[in-house]
């Protein structure tokens, strides 16, 4: 029995090591050689090769021979398949999509659905605009909870203890433009979001872009997602801005109703 337990522990450690190799691949680093993976993971090349071979056999990685001494790896289609299964299980995504599509037609800006996943904000659905100049975002993208209208809205509705943990992380962080995050201002923003019922950001994730987000509530009257609209800051002015706010707020309410939100009990 003891030997079996030790064997299970060793197997679990190997599985964890293999899965951690998948984290080395990012949007910017979508292809890595065996040598690069070995260096970045601090694993000997034979160990890295063994784990990569198992991931390749399972369909999580694709391998292309670079030369007789090295190979290059990319993420495999099995991850897309599993990701689609997870995505399809998200009830809020299924319910929200047709409403997001209608909102996109009415305001012609990019519409996102954002949820909290493992301490970050994850974009689980997107409806594009028809404008010639579009924002580059993708479903599955994750962002810190302290930057952007959608992430900050979700942060504002977290318990104070969770908020404080994120604020502490923000102290050592900067916005993409290199500007440091002012945590006192962040705290004020979170208080204002709860007070006004929506979130606003400008240039926090991408330069010259503005985002506005409204909360989506479920049957427990808890915020489960942010309905976020974003685009070039030059579009978010005057009558168009008022239209964006009115339509986004209305759409978030309609999605919430579909999720069983008890509107009269909202505080």
Q: What percent of the chain has pLDDT over 90?
A: 43
Q: Show Cβ contacts of residue 29 under 8 Å, excluding neighbours closer than 6 positions.
A: none
| Token code pair at residue 140 | 């599955």
Task: Please indicate, yes or no, whether the overall pTM of this predicted structure exceeds 0.95.
Answer: no
Encode pLDDT of 196-239 as tens digits. Answer: 999 998 877 777 889 999 999 988 889 999 999 998 888 899 99
Dihedral angle over CA of 223, 226, 227, 230, nearest 10: 160
Q: Residue 63 pLDDT > 50, yes or no? A: yes
Give the pLDDT mean for 97-119: 93
CA 113/CA 97 separation, integer angstroms:
9
Contact 249, 198 (CB under 8 A): yes
CA 32/CA 51 separation, integer angstroms:
14
Q: Residue 73 pLDDT > 60, yes or no? A: yes
Helix (H) or strand (E) holding 233: none
Q: Kindly indicate the confidence band of residue 5, based on its pLDDT and cuts at 50, 70 and 90.
A: very low
Q: Residue 266 pLDDT > 50, yes or no? A: no
Give the pLDDT mean for 131-148: 74
Strand blocks (E) in 68-188: 70-75, 110-117, 120-127, 142-143
Residue 231, strand partner residues: 210
Compare 6 and 181 and report the one with higher pLDDT: 181
| pLDDT given at position 67 | 66
| pLDDT given at position 107 | 94
Q: Taking the domains of the chain in order of start, what are their residue ranges?
A: 2-76, 90-265
Which CATH fold topology does 2-76 show? Arc Repressor Mutant, subunit A (1.10.10)
Domain 90-265 of CATH type 1.20.810.10:
no
Helix (H) or strand (E) holding 133: none
Encode pLDDT of 213-223 as tens digits. Answer: 999 998 888 99
């Amino acid at each position: 029995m003891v030997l079996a337990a030790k064997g299970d522990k060793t197997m679990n450690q190997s599985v964890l090591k293999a899965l951690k190799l998948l984290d080395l691949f990012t949007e910017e680093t979508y292809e890595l050689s065996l040598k690069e993976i070995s260096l970045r993971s601090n694993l000997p090349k034979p160990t890295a090769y063994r784990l990569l071979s198992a991931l390749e056999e399972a369909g999580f990685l694709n391998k292309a021979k670079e030369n007789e001494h090295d190979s290059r790896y990319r993420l495999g289609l099995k991850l897309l398949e599993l990701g689609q299964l997870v995505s399809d299980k998200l009830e809020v995504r299924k319910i929200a999509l047709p409403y997001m599509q209608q909102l996109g037609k009415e305001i012609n800006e990019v519409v996102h659905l954002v949820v909290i996943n493992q301490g970050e904000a994850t974009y689980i659905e997107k409806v594009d605009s028809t404008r010639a100049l579009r924002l580059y975002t993708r479903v599955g993208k994750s962002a810190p909870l302290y930057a952007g209208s959608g992430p900050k809205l979700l942060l504002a509705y977290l318990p104070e203890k969770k908020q404080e943990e994120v604020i502490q992380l923000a102290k050592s962080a900067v916005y993409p433009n290199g500007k440091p995050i002012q945590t006192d201002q962040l705290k004020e923003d979170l208080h204002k979001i709860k007070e006004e019922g929506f979130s606003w950001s400008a240039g926090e994730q991408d330069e010259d872009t503005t985002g506005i987000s409204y909360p989506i509530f479920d049957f427990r009257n808890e915020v489960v997602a942010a309905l976020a609209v974003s685009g070039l800051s030059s579009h978010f002015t005057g009558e168009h801005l008022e239209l964006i706010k009115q339509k986004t707020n209305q759409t978030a309410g309609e999605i919430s109703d579909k999720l069983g939100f008890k509107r009269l009990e909202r505080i």
